Structure 1
Amino acid sequence: MRQQIDALGIKGSVFVIRKGKILLNYADSNTTDTSYLINSAQKSLTAAMVMRLVQDGKLSLQDRLSKFYPEIPGAKKIKIEHLLAMRAGLHLKPGAKLGRKHFVSDQDNIACDVKKTVFDPKLLGKWHYSSLNYVYLCGIITKVTNKSYEQLFHETYVEPLKLKHTEFLWSKPHRILKSGLVPGFFYRNGHYDIIKHEAALRDAHNELGAGSVVMSNQDLAKAIRYVLTGNLLTKRSRKLLYDAQPPSYYNGGLYHNDKQKTKLANGAGEGYYTFMRTTNDAKTMIIIQSNRTRKNEFDKLKKSVNQVMRQLLESQ
C-alpha cells in the first residue's frame, strides 16, 4: 500500500486506517502532525453543523433562503437542502470572486457576495458546484445561533474532539505555529514558489466555511469519523444529509459512491492538496495532504487516489 501511495508522487503526509486500525501514518517532507489548509474538504464539516441545527429543530431543510437573505436573487425558490447539495442555481457574475480584497467581517463579505450573485432558474435542482452555497450556509447558521462560524466550529469539533492541530488560517501566529502548519507551494518556472500568506489569508476569509481551516491528517480523520459515526448526528440525520442524486452524487459536502459504500472529499488551493476517502462507517480511510502543488495535476491525482482506495477495499 505504501508503495502504491508513494508512486503518486505526492509530497506530504499520509494516514491510512483499515478495519479500524492504523495501517500507515507517515510523512514525506513534513511530519505526521503537520497541518494543511484543507480547502473544500471543510464543506463536509460545515454541512454537518447545518444538519445538527436541523436535527435540533432550529432550522429546516425546507426553509427558504429568503427567510435569512431575502435580497439574494431567487431566494424565495431556494431551500436549505438545495444549498447543501449544490443545487441552488446560484453562481457569481462572470469575472467576480468571493468576498472582497480587504477583509472587514464575515457579514460584510456576505453582503458583498450578494451583490455579485446570479440566480439561474434553469439550474435550480441541478448540480452546479460553487462555494457560494456554503458561504451562505455559514451566514444562515450564524443568524440562527447568534454565534460566529468560527465559534461554532470550535464548539462542534475542536473542543469535544480535543483537536490539537486544527486552527483557522487567521488564528494568532503562535497558535498557527503550534498547529504545525507548513507554507503552501506552487510549481512554476521550474521551481516551487511559496504562496504569500496575505493572499491565502484573504481567500480563506472569503471561503469561510469552504476553505478556511487547517488540520492535520489525524485531526481530520477524527472529525470525519465523528460526523459519520459519532453522536453529532443521528442515523436519520445522516441519511437525510447524504441523500444524493446523479450526476454527481454529492450532498452534505461529500461525494458518495453507493456501490462501494464510500464517501470522499477533496481540497485544493493556496498551494495545498487534501484527499480524503472513507467507508461509510469510517473504519477504512485514506487521508493524503500535501503543500506542494502543480498546475493541471489535481484531477489526475484525485482519480489516482480513488484507485488506491479501491485497492485498499479489495485487500480487506
Structure 2
Amino acid sequence: MRQQIDALRIKGSILVIKNDKIMLNYALGNNTDTSYLINSVQKSMTAAIIMHLVQEGKLSLQDKLSKFYPQIAGAKKVRLKNLLAMTAGLDLKSGARLGQKHFVSDQDNIQHDAANTVFEPALLNKWHYSSLNYVYLCGIMSKITGQSYEQLFRDTYVRPLKLRQTEFLWSKPGKIIASHLVPGMIYRKGRYDVVKHQAALRDAHSELGAGSVVMSNHDLAKVIRYLLTGSLLTRRSRKLLYQAAPPAYYNGGFYNNIKLKTKTANGAGQGYYTFVRSTDNAKTILIIQSNKTREGEFDQLKGQINQIMLELLGRKAYSANIIG
C-alpha cells in the first residue's frame, strides 16, 4: 500500500489506520505532525455542531432559513436540512465572492453574502455544492448560542479532544507555529509558488466553517472518530445527519457510500490538499494531506485515493454510489 500511495507523488503526510491499528504513519517532505489547511473537510465538523444543537432541542432540521436571515432570497423555502445537504438552491450572484474584501467580522461577512445571494427555485431539494450553505450554518449557530463559530469549534473539538496541531488560520503567529503549519504551494510555470498568507487569510475568514482550520493527520483522525462514534452525537442524530440521496449522497459534510458504509471528505485550496476516507465505524481511516499542489490534478488524485481505500477495505470496485 505504501508503494501505491508514494506513486501518487504527493508531498505531505500520510496516516492509514486499519481495524483500529495504525498501519502507516509517515511523511514525504514534511513530518507526521505537520498541520495543513483542511479546507472543505471542515464542513463535517460544522455540520456536527449544528446537529448537536438539534439534538439539544435548540434547533430543528425543519427550521426555515427565514427564521434567522429573513432578508436572504428564498429564505422562506429553505430549511436547515437543505443547508446541511447542499440542496438549498442558493448561490452567489455572478461575479460576487464570499465575504468582504477587508475582514471586519463574521457577521459583517454574512451580511455581505446575504445581500449577494440568489435563489434558484428549480434547484431546491436538488444537490448543488456551495460553501455558502455552511457559512449560513455558522451564522445560525452563533445566533442560537451567542458564541462565535471559533468559540464553538474550540469548545466542541479542540479542548475536549486535546487537539495539539489544530488552529484557525488567523490565530496569532505563535499558535500557528506551534501547530506546525507549512505554507501552501501551487505549481505554476515550472516551479512551486508559495501562496501569500494575506490571500489565504481572506479566504479563511470568508469560508468560516468551510475552510478556516489547520489540522495534523493525528488530530483529524481523532475528530473523525469523534464525529462518527463519539459522545457528541447520538446514533439517531448521526442517522439523520448522514441520510443522503443521489446523485452525490452528500450530507453533513461527507459523501456517504451506503453500500460500502464509508464516508469521504476532500479539501483543496490555497496550495493544500486534504483527503479523508473512513468507514462508518471509524475503525479504518485513510488520511493524506499535502501542501504542494498542481492545478488540474485534484480530481485525478481523488479517484486514485478512492482505489487505495478500496484495497484497504479488501474490495475490488466501488458501488454505484458516488464517493466524492
- TM-score scaled by structure 2? 0.97
Q: Shift of the alpha carbon at 1:123?
A: 0.3
Pairing 1:114–2:109 present = no
What is the CA deviation profile of residues 155-186 of structure 1, one whole-angstrom value per residue up to 9, with x for unaligned ones?
00000000000000000000000000000000
* 1:224 maps onto 2:224 in alignment: yes
1:311 aligned residue: 311
In 2: Cα distance, 1:47 partner to 1:116 partner = 23
Gaps of 5+ in 1: none
Name the aligned partner's letter for residue 79 of structure 1. Answer: R
Q: Is 2:204 the counterpart of 1:204?
A: yes
Instruction: Using the TM superposition, give the Cα deviation of residue 96 of structure 1 relative to its aligned residue in structure 2, in angstroms.
Output: 1.1
Q: CA deviation at 1:95?
A: 1.5
Alignment of 1:131-170 (within 5 A): 131-170=131-170
Q: For the residues of structure 1 that align with 2:304 and 2:116, how far apart are their CA atoms?
A: 36
Q: CA deviation at 1:230?
A: 0.2
CA drift of 1:73 comes to 0.4
Q: Match of 2:218, as an amino acid? A: Q
- Report the Cα offset of residue 258 of structure 1: 1.0
- Rounded Cα–Cα distance in structure 1 between residues aligned with 2:116 and 2:306: 35
**Amino acid corresponding to residue 261 of structure 1 in structure 2:** K
Aligned partner of 1:236 in structure 2 is 236
CA distance in 1, matches of 2:44, 2:266: 10
SS of 1:160's equivalent in the other structure is coil
* 1:179 corresponding residue in structure 2: 179
Measure, in 2, the Cα distance between the counterparts of 1:283 and 1:71. Answer: 44
CA deviation map 1:111-167 (0-9, x unaligned): 000111000000000000000000000000000000000000000000000000000
What are the Cα deviations for residues 208-244 of structure 1, in whole angstroms up to 9, with x where unaligned? Answer: 0000000000100000100000000000000000000
Q: Counterparts of 1:261 and 1:4 in 2: how far apart (Å)?
A: 23
Question: Match of 1:287?
Answer: 287
Alignment match, 1:16: 16
Q: Which amino acid aligns with 2:42?
A: Q
**1:300 and 1:19 mapped to 2: Cα distance?**
27
For 2:227 and 2:289, the matched residues in 1 are separated by 20
What is the distance in 2 between the residues matched to 1:212 and 1:186?
18
In 2, distance between residues paired with 1:230 and 1:101? 38
Give secondary structure in 1 for the equivalent of 2:214: strand
Letter in 2 for 1:286: L
Q: Helix, strand or coil for the counterpart of 1:36?
A: strand
CA–CA distance in 1 between the matches of 2:100 and 2:273? 24
Structure 2 distance, partners of 1:314, 1:168, is 37
Query: Who is 2:123 aligned against?
Result: 123
Percent identity between matched residues is 71
Please tell me whether residue 73 in structure 1 is matched to residue 73 in structure 2: yes
Which amino acid in the other structure matches residue 178 of structure 1? A
Please, what TM-score do these two structures have when normalized by structure 1?
A: 0.99
Q: Distance in 1 between matches of 2:95 and 2:278?
A: 35
Q: Which residue of 2 aligns with 1:245?
A: 245
Structure 2 partner of 1:43:
43
Indicate the SS of the match to 2:209.
coil
**Cα RMSD between the aligned structures?**
0.9
- Tell me the distance in 2 between the aligned counterparts of 1:116 and 1:66: 16
Deviations 1:41-86 (A, max 9, x none): 0000000000000000000000000000000000000000000000
Separation (CA, whole Å) in 2 of partners of 1:22 and 1:258? 25
Matched letter for residue 124 of structure 1: L
CA distance in 2, matches of 1:64, 1:303: 36
CA distance in 1, matches of 2:255, 2:10: 22
**Distance (Å, rounded) in 2 between the aligned partners of 1:180 and 1:57:** 38
Give SS of 1:248's match: coil
Separation of aligned partners in 2, 1:220 and 1:26: 15
Cα distance in structure 1, aligned partners of 2:7 and 2:187: 19
**AA at the equivalent of 2:136:** Y
- Equivalent residue, structure 2, for 1:188: 188
SS of 1:88 mapped into structure 2: coil
The offset of 1:100, in angstroms, is: 1.1
